[in-house]
Chains A and B, each alone.
Chain A
């Protein structure tokens, strides 16, 4: 069975603070993909990143960075110098090679206050 856990349901920070969103996953597959999506109030899910299970290199994209650790089955997401526009619900998701659907975590609501 596949499972994604986002233990933080809600995080509130002040603008310019750094914030890390946690994601822990469970899968028996050796080949799988991990994703982060952002869901602003408008509702659509915006793709942020995809990682495959064979690539444990950390990735940085502007103020965003991701830390993938297979040893702890975690794929954490850090926003550096947060901004009010980062306020949204963030979802971590897992896709395994046997199927194409995504298994989502419950989401973390991030509120960045000015």
Chain B
């Protein structure tokens, strides 16, 4: 596609519910990132994929967070047993860079705003 697409744009979940957030990266982009952006703050790194391999998941805040990219294109971020502190905008980004390769810019989607009530 022309840009990074995320769905849904908005999600309201009851506390304890599981949610799944989808990211369609730019076609052909090797790298895919997930970031979490709390209200009024900068995005914080969650996890990184190169193709289907999850090379870094150091930013995932707990074992309730799980991400996958099984075919090296679309990615899903899953949050189990959501808590109020999970309320944030979840941003996906993709880039043509490879792990530790020449660094090109990342292109971001519009994000999914998750509200846990």
Contact = CB atoms under 8 A, between A and B. Distances in A.
Given A44-B108, A107-B41, A107-B42, A101 B103 contact: no
B31 A45 contact: no
Interface string B30-44: 010101000011111
Interface in B26-85: 31, 33, 35, 40-45, 48, 56, 59
Contacts of A6: 42
Interface residues of B, number: 31
A100 B109 contact: no
B53 to A, nearest CB: 13
A99 B56 contact: yes
Interface of B: 3-4, 31, 33, 35, 40-45, 48, 56, 59, 89, 91, 93, 95, 97, 99-100, 103-111, 113
20 contacts: A33-B103, A35-B105, A43-B89, A43-B111, A44-B108, A44-B109, A44-B111, A47-B105, A91-B42, A98-B100, A100-B33, A100-B95, A100-B97, A101-B33, A101-B59, A102-B33, A102-B43, A104-B44, A105-B42, A106-B42
